[in-house]
């Protein structure tokens, strides 16, 4: 479903992604962890071409993002991205944030769009906040509205950038349930998170991104060793790894 083939991304002199390869199938949930500034958000942004890459190729649904004649609008409706900072439209109410793209992109009638949006709002416990504006919402509410806004477009791929950073444990469990529900619907998901409990509960496969390199790890390694990795220690103590392996 989502395939990165030897992707390299540089910002000026700095190589943020070096020869990164990754494949996520439909219905699979891939978790990416890594220290702050390691390029996790950049990785997600390359997947809907908010950032272009310097080498390699990215394929979604078997089709390259760099083929000629690519319809970017179609791609972006197919690949939902929830930003780390949410980025809701500040001039629209929470509900209108969701219905506006539905009306404009999916060409739904306003009534239909509203019904679909309200159904999702109920599912995410947001119905009481539907007519609040983004600056009146709490961080967690904003995050959920952003998730709903992407979900409403029925993407085939969801990219979530730290979706639980502003949520309490109860809502986090909700997000886990929603991630699993989406997976069972065949949506491929790539989730960036620092939240290891969430990662282990929601993920199928786990990756560490460090100094531009991506490597797959199992969930034990993630849970035991990621804290070191996240703190930016370049190597994980051998004893720990062996203990995990044993």
Ligand X SMILES: Nc1ncnc2c1ncn2[C@@H]1O[C@H](COP(=O)(O)OP(=O)(O)OP(=O)(O)O)[C@@H](O)[C@H]1O
Task: Looking at residues 53 to 92 of the shown chain, list those that interact with another protein (rule: CB under 8 A).
Answer: 72-74, 76-77, 80-81, 83, 85, 87-92
Q: Where are the alpha helices (DSSP H) in 132-209?
A: 139-152, 169-184, 196-202
Q: Is 72 helix (H, G, I), strand (E, B) or coil?
A: helix
Q: Which helix (H) or strand (E) holds 225?
A: helix 219-231
Nearer to Mg ion, 42 or 93 (CB): 42
Interaction partner, residue 93 (another protein, ligand X, Mg ion, none; CB < 5-8 Å by kind): another protein
Q: Minimum CB separation from ligand X for residue 35, in Å?
A: 7
Separation of alpha carbons 2 and 157, rounded Å? 8
Q: Is 64 helix (H, G, I), strand (E, B) or coil?
A: strand
149: closest CA among 136, 130, 171, 170? 130
Two tokens, residue 215: 């490597």
Q: Minimum CB separation from another protein for residue 105, in Å?
A: 4
Residue 110 binds another protein, judged by CB under 8 A: yes
Spatial CB neighbours of 129, under 8 Å, sequence gap ≥ 6: 94, 121, 137, 141, 145
Kindly state the number of chain residues that form the binding site for another protein, as judged by CB under 8 A: 36
Residue 93 binds another protein, judged by CB under 8 A: yes
Interaction partner, residue 37 (ligand X, another protein, Mg ion, none; CB < 5-8 Å by kind): ligand X
Interaction partner, residue 145 (another protein, ligand X, Mg ion, none; CB < 5-8 Å by kind): none
Q: Which residues pair with 55 in a beta bridge?
A: 8
Q: Catalog residues that contact another protein under the rule CB under 8 A.
A: 48, 50, 72-74, 76-77, 80-81, 83, 85, 87-93, 95-96, 99-101, 104-105, 110, 114, 118, 127-128, 130-131, 133, 149-150, 153
């Amino acid at each position: 479903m989502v395939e990165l083939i030897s992707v390299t991304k540089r910002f000026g002199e700095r190589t943020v992604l070096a020869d990164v390869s990754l494949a996520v199938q439909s219905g699979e949930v891939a978790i990416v962890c890594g220290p702050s500034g390691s390029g996790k958000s950049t990785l997600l942004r390359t997947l809907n071409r908010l950032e272009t890459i310097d080498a390699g190729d990215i394929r979604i649904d078997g089709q390259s993002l760099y083929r000629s004649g690519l319809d970017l609008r179609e791609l972006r409706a197919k690949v939902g991205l929830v930003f780390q900072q949410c980025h809701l439209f500040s001039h629209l109410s929470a509900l209108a944030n969701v219905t506006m793209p539905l009306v404009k992109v999916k060409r739904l009638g306003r009534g239909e769009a509203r019904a679909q949006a309200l159904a999702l709002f109920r599912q995410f416990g947001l119905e009481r906040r539907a007519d609040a504006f983004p600056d009146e919402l709490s961080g967690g509410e904003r995050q959920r509205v952003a998730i709903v806004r992407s979900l409403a477009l029925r993407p085939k791929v969801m990219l979530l950038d730290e979706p639980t950073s502003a949520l309490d444990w109860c809502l986090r469990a909700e997000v886990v349930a929603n991630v699993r529900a989406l997976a069972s619907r065949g949506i491929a998901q790539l989730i960036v998170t620092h939240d290891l409990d969430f990662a282990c509960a929601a993920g199928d496969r786990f990756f560490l991104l460090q100094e531009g390199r991506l490597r797959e790890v199992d969930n034990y390694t993630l849970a035991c060793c990621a804290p070191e990795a996240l703190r930016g220690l370049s190597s994980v103590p051998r004893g720990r790894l062996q203990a995990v392996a044993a």
